[in-house]
């Protein structure tokens, strides 16, 4: 018999998230219904100094043309299962006024949504990251995202996470940020790779509109629908679609967790869970494990956490049962399949 901590929650094969830079209000009309159709949560990447305002970045494609989501709209989307990340105060260089761009922006977004913000997305080109990195960590961020078209592994560097672009057709962007991306968009992009390696795909797009302003970084409702359809086809129930914060929390909880003192007797298995060094800002501390029962079992085992039936059984096949629960240090977990 053995007990293994799962790479991903519920023992799923790979992870997927989608993020929306700038968080424009049009997402409510053009993106939200597609998210609801497929049950995929979204993640909003907000410029703290412009919540509810018209875009005010003169170099931006959307300058004075698109409005950012308001605090009320953000809270409504959170109720839909979405989440919110920090994209700086002004969408400028993080090293010009680091305190404002990182610290004050985090405080302002947290005040607007009534929740802690733990994910930061670098604005514009990624060059400003290195000098600002220590401030991001000191501010309590758990993860930082770039945009460079890599697949994240199941055990990634959380301060060097990548996003892959969801767009219509690559045009001629003025910013070299988009040069690594293919010229034509494939709705299967990175999904089979994620399934094969157990990785984490994180998409990035901006506006979702029938007629986008920026073909190289925006998408349409049809392409978004096709992307989610491909996700479900490739995953076939083995994909974990979640907001980035939940996935980051799981990675950090998994890293902190260890299984100790495994004991077996007949149709009974018992072990102790330890959590060491889990960061304070981690909110969701669920953990999933797979227990393999060498004697086999004709029924789903009873799973008790400190004597209580608080775990969710995710799957039972042959001699293996996978289950998930809210973890805390020193818990005793028991399985019994003798009935």
- pLDDT for 170 equals 58
Q: Are residues 259 and 200 in the same domain?
A: no
Instruction: Using the 3D structure, point to which of 218, 243, 268 is the last residue of a domain.
Output: 243
Give residue 25's pLDDT: 98
Is residue 8 one of the residues assigned to a domain?
A: no
Boundary (domain end) residue, out of 243, 263, 284: 243
Let me know whether 205 and 287 are in one domain. no
In Å, what is the CA distance from 328 to each residue of 33, 269, 312?
A: 37, 19, 16
Separation between Cα atoms, residue 249 and residue 73, nearest integer Å: 25
Number of folded domains in the chain?
Answer: 2
Q: Which domain holds residue 100?
A: 15-243
pLDDT given for residue 256 in this prediction: 97
Asked if residue 272 and residue 219 are part of one domain, the reply reads no
**69 and 193, same structural domain?**
yes
Identify whether 170 is part of a domain. yes
Does any domain span residue 151?
Answer: yes
Q: How far is CA 22 from CA 52, 97, 137, 168, 174, in A?
A: 11, 20, 22, 18, 18
pLDDT (0 to 100) of residue 213: 92
Q: Are residues 165 and 276 in the same domain?
A: no
10 located within any domain: no
Q: What is the pLDDT of residue 311?
A: 97
DSSP string, 213-270: S-TTT-B-HHHHHHHHHHHHHHHTT-EEE--HHHHHHHHHHHHHEEEEEEEEETTEEE
Model confidence at 127: pLDDT above 70: no
Average pLDDT, rounded, for the chain? 92
Give residue 248's pLDDT: 98
Instruction: Compute the distance between CA of residue 166 and CA of residue 216 in angstroms, rounded to an integer.
Output: 9
Residue 87 lies in a domain: yes
Rounded to an integer, the average pLDDT of 273-301 is 88
Residues 179 and 53 in one domain: yes
Query: Can you tell me the distance from the alpha carbon of 193 to that of 174, in angstroms, rounded to the nearest whole number?
Result: 30
- Pick the last residue of a domain from 243, 265, 288: 243
Q: If you average pLDDT over residues 31-49, what whole number do you get? A: 98
SS3 176: helix
Q: What is the pTM of this model?
A: 0.94
For residues 210 and 329, state if they share a domain.
no
Same domain, 176 and 261: no
Instruction: Answer yes or no: do 32 and 180 share one domain.
Output: yes
Q: Are residues 112 and 26 in the same domain?
A: yes
Please, are residues 168 and 220 in contact by the beta-carbon 8 Å criterion?
yes
Q: What percent of the chain has pLDDT over 90?
A: 77
Q: For the domain that residue 133 is a member of, what is the CATH number?
A: 3.20.20.370
Average pLDDT over residues 52-60: 93
In a domain, 3, yes or no: no
Q: Is residue 140 part of a domain?
A: yes
Strands (E), 29-166: 43-46, 83-86, 119-121, 143-145, 164-165
CATH number at residue 324: 2.60.40
In percent, the amount of the chain with pLDDT more than 70 equals 93
What pLDDT is recorded for position 148? 85
Q: Is the pLDDT of residue 77 over 90?
A: yes
Asked if the model's pLDDT at residue 338 lies above 50, the reply is: yes
Q: Summarize pLDDT for 186-202 with one digit per residue, the tens.
A: 999 999 999 999 999 99
Residue 2 lies in a domain: no
Q: What is the pLDDT of residue 174?
A: 45
What is the C-alpha separation between 208 and 131, in angstroms, rounded? 33
| Residue 297: pLDDT over 70 | no
The pLDDT, as a whole number, for residue 145 is 95
- 169-185 pLDDT per residue, tens: 755 544 555 565 656 78
Instruction: Based on the fold, state whether residues 118 and 221 are members of the same structural domain.
Output: yes
Let me know whether 301 and 280 are in one domain.
yes
**pLDDT for res 339:** 64
Phi and psi angles of residue 124, each rounded to the nearest 5 degrees, phi first: 60, -145
pLDDT above 80 (res 325): yes
Give me the pLDDT at residue 59, please.
85
């Amino acid at each position: 018999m053995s007990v293994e901590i799962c790479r991903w929650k519920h023992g799923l094969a790979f992870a997927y998230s989608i993020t929306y830079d700038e968080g424009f209000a049009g997402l409510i009309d053009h993106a939200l219904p597609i998210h609801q159709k497929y049950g995929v949560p979204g993640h909003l990447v907000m410029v703290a100094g412009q919540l509810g305002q018209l875009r005010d970045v003169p170099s931006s494609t959307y300058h004075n043309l698109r409005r950012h989501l308001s605090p009320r709209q953000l809270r409504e989307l959170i109720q839909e299962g979405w989440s919110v990340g920090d994209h700086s105060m002004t969408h400028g260089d993080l090293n010009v006024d680091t305190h404002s761009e990182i610290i004050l922006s985090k405080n302002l977004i947290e005040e607007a949504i009534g929740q802690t913000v733990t994910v930061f997305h670098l604005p514009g080109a990624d060059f400003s990251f290195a000098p600002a990195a220590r401030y991001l960590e000191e501010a309590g961020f758990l993860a930082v995202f770039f945009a460079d078209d890599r697949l994240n592994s199941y055990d990634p560097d959380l301060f060097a996470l990548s996003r892959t672009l969801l767009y219509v057709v690559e045009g001629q962007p003025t910013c070299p940020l988009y040069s690594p991306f293919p010229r034509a968009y494939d709705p299967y992009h990175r999904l089979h790779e994620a399934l094969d390696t157990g990785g984490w795909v994180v998409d990035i797009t901006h506006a979702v509109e029938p007629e986008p302003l920026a073909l190289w970084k925006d998408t349409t409702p049809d392409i978004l629908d096709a992307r989610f359809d491909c996700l479900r086809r490739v995953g076939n129930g083995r994909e974990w679609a979640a907001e980035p914060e939940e996935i980051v929390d799981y990675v950090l909880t998994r890293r902190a967790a260890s299984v100790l003192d495994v004991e077996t007797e007949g149709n009974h298995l018992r072990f102790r869970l330890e959590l060491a060094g889990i960061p304070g800002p981690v909110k969701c501390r669920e953990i999933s494990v797979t227990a393999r029962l060498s004697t086999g079992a004709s029924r789903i085992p009873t799973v008790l956490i400190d004597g209580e039936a608080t775990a969710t059984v995710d799957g039972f096949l042959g001699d293996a049962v996978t289950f998930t629960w809210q973890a805390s240090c020193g818990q005793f977990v028991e399985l019994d399949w003798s009935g």
